[in-house]
């Protein structure tokens, strides 16, 4: 489970398992680094992809590694969550765009199988309002813009005011912000009161940079 | 390894399909045509061996398999395999779309009980894809009778290009994208589906107005899918499928409309009566396969 007083760096993997294996080898071992099995990776390899990440990362840090299964659940949440938990995930994600009933089910199922619930607010205009409708709060709220959106429309912004609003009202929820690709982005993310910074893109451009970024990050949060 | 003569046969078929596609689309990239012609001209097999190859019992799965292998080995002819393997949906036909969501063992069981018909579409459901990975799609394609139309319910929410390429390579004839996804994602999804020559389906789950989403798109999808989420229908039964939307969408846009959520032949008939082109039924893990097979049989019998 995540500690509220710590800052985390989450690194998302979206491509082939071979690539992930190599890249995990380059990362500094730390429990402050969370490894994400990205949605395309889950859809490509299924549960065995999640299990492979678990094995490699746990081997690297010499203790059970924290793996996020980015399921982006939209419906039929229970089976996916169970599968992710069985594969060794410590957290699973659900879309904030899903029907409220689905999110409620998802949060409940995560609790039942003992994984952290993350609600991904991509394309949700008012994340705060989604939270208000839920029976029970998730462990983490993920605020970000989709990768396709970023690519095709650079004007939209991450709603930083939403972070303060959520933090101010629900102090038990952790905030994860995706999209930072430089140390400065990561630091800025934390100044905005978030707990987890998610990075992914730099991995495909220059994997070494991500390893350096992770190293710098660890020095910073010591 | 693919025997040279079969390769020549396959290439000839592909060439024909591509020439056909090129004649319909002025923007078609004709460079691959020249490349194939060149490979064909270098082949030491005569047209006579070609006739022999045709006589071989070339079932579709074998053909698809060869194409996959060929694609891996010949980057020149990337993507063109899809031109051959793709079957598209026809307007004015009524389809029953059977979604498989529990396990691959069960998928095999139910597929073996289904009658053979080109009006049955088989879907590798989202849970299957997330549990088994893309293998779920290729496995189901292998289990189904040759030529069956396979839908990959990948419910794309982001990174459309990557997902579409993956499902097309696994042999799917259609892929799904969420209507609640960012418009940029849906636009990219439709573009990619066209590139890979598979049908694009937009799943309008939890979308307030499907028309409003369609209005924002650069290009139309092939299919619009209306439904209540499964969790939704389990927990709040009063939510109904908005049948009136079917006519509204079809009146404004040239797309096929699929309606998800029918458990009985009555519900299926009602959807068809309300102008749906495709009715999606689920094979739930608590139902017996025989029950689903029976529903499919009555559909083929009662809905023409």
- Say what the pLDDT of residue A129 is: 93
Position A2 in a domain: no
- Say what the pLDDT of residue A178 is: 84
- Say what the pLDDT of residue B102 is: 87
Helix crossing, A77-86 with A47-61: angle to 10°?
Answer: 40
Q: What is the mean pLDDT of each run of 10 residues along chain B (304 residues)?
A: 60 71 70 69 58 44 50 43 61 93 91 92 96 96 90 96 93 96 97 92 93 97 81 52 88 95 83 93 73 90 90
B13 or A211, which is more confident: A211
Q: pLDDT tens-digit profile of B120-153?
A: 999 999 999 999 999 999 999 999 988 899 999 9
Distance CA B231, CA B244 (A): 22
Fold annotation for B95-302: TIM Barrel (3.20.20)
Position A1 in a domain: no
Instruction: Say if CB A36 and CB A10 are below 8 A apart.
Output: yes
Rg from Cα positions in chain A: 16
* pTM of the predicted structure, to 2 decimals: 0.83
ipTM: 0.92
* pLDDT confidence bin for A187, thresholds 50/70/90: confident
* pLDDT confidence bin for A183, thresholds 50/70/90: confident
A148–B133 CB contact, under 8 Å: no
Reference B283, options B269, B303, B258, B263; nearest CA is B263
Q: Which residues of A touch B (CB under 8 A)?
A: 14, 38-40, 42-49, 71-72, 74-77, 79-80, 83, 95, 97-99, 101-102, 105, 122-123, 145-149, 151-153
Alpha helices in chain B (DSSP H): 4-24, 31-42, 47-55, 60-73, 80-85, 104-113, 126-132, 135-143, 160-169, 183-195, 210-216, 230-235, 244-252, 265-273, 289-302
Residue of B nearest to A84 (CA): B131
Q: pLDDT tens-digit profile of A60-85?
A: 999 999 999 999 999 877 889 999 99
Nearest CB to B235 within list A45, A101, A151: A101
A123–B182 CB contact, under 8 Å: yes
Domain that holds residue A23: 8-221
Residue of A nearest to B236 (CA): A101
Q: Residue A48 is encoded by which pair of tokens?
A: 């065995």
Rg from Cα positions in chain B: 20
Residue A13, domain CATH: 3.20.20.70
| Summary mean pLDDT of chain B | 80
Spans of all domains in chain B: 4-85, 95-302
Q: What is the distance in angstroms between the Cα of A7 and the nearest Cα belonging to chain B?
A: 26
* pLDDT(A42) > 60: yes
Name the domain count of chain A: 1
Task: Please name every residue paired with A63 in a beta bridge, in sequence order, or none if there are none.
Answer: none
Distance CA A214, CA A12 (A): 13
Instruction: Say if CB B270 and CB B93 are below 8 A apart.
Output: no
* pLDDT confidence bin for A128, thresholds 50/70/90: very high
Q: What is the distance in angstroms between the Cα of A48 and the nearest Cα belonging to chain B?
A: 8
Q: What is the distance in angstroms between the Cα of B108 and the nearest Cα belonging to chain A?
A: 19
Interface contacts (A, B; CB < 8 Å): 130
């Amino acid at each position: 489970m995540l500690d509220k007083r710590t800052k985390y760096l989450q690194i998302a993997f979206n491509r082939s398992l071979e690539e992930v294996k190599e890249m995990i080898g380059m990362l500094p071992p730390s429990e402050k680094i969370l490894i994400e099995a990205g949605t395309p990776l889950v859809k490509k390899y299924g549960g065995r992809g999640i299990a492979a990440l678990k094995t490699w990362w746990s081997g690297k840090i010499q203790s059970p590694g924290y793996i996020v299964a980015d399921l982006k659940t939209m419906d039929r949440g229970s089976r996916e969550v169970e599968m992710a938990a069985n594969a060794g995930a410590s957290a699973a994600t659900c879309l904030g765009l899903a029907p409220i009933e689905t999110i409620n089910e998802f949060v409940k199922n995560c609790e039942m199988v003992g994984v952290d619930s993350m609600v991904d607010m991509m394309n949700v205009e008012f994340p705060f309002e989604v939270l208000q409708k839920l029976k029970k709060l998730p462990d983490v709220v993920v605020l970000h813009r989709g990768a396709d959106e970023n690519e095709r429309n650079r004007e939209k912004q991450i709603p930083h005011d939403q972070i303060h609003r959520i933090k101010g009202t629900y102090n038990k929820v952790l905030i994860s912000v995706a999209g930072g690709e430089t140390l400065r982005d990561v630091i800025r993310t934390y100044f905005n009161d978030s707990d987890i910074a998610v990075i992914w893109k730099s991995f495909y451009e220059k994997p070494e940079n991500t390893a350096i970024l992770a190293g710098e990050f660890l020095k910073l949060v010591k | 390894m693919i025997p040279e003569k079969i390769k020549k046969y396959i290439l000839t078929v592909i060439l024909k399909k591509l020439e056909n596609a090129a004649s319909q689309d002025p923007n078609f990239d004709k460079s691959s045509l020249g490349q194939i012609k060149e490979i064909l001209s270098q082949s030491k097999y005569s047209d006579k061996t070609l006739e022999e190859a045709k006589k071989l019992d070339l079932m579709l799965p074998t053909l698809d398999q060869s194409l996959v292998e060929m694609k891996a080995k010949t980057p020149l002819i990337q993507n063109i395999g899809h031109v051959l393997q793709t079957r598209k949906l026809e307007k004015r036909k009524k389809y029953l779309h059977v979604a498989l969501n529990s396990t691959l063992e069960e998928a095999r069981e139910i597929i073996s009980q289904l009658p053979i018909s080109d009006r049955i579409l088989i879907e590798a459901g989202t849970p299957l894809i997330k549990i088994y990975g893309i293998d779920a799609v290729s496995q189901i394609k292998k289990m189904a009778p040759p030529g069956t139309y396979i839908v990959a319910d990948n419910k794309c929410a982001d990174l459309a290009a990557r997902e579409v390429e993956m499902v097309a390579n696994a042999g799917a004839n259609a892929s799904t994208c969420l209507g609640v996804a960012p418009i940029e994602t849906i636009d990219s999804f439709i573009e990619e589906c066209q590139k890979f020559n598979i049908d694009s389906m937009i799943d309008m789950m939890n979308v307030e107005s499907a028309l409003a989403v369609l209005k924002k798109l650069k290009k139309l999808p092939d299919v619009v899918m209306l439904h209540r989420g499964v969790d939704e229908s389990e927990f709040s039964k009063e939510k109904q499928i908005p049948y009136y939307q079917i006519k509204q969408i079809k009146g404004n846009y040239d797309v096929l409309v699929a309606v998800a959520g029918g458990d009985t032949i009555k519900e299926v008939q009602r959807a068809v009566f309300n102008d749906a082109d495709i009715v999606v039924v689920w094979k739930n893990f608590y139902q017996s396969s025989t029950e689903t097979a029976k529903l499919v049989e009555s559909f083929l019998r009662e809905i023409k």
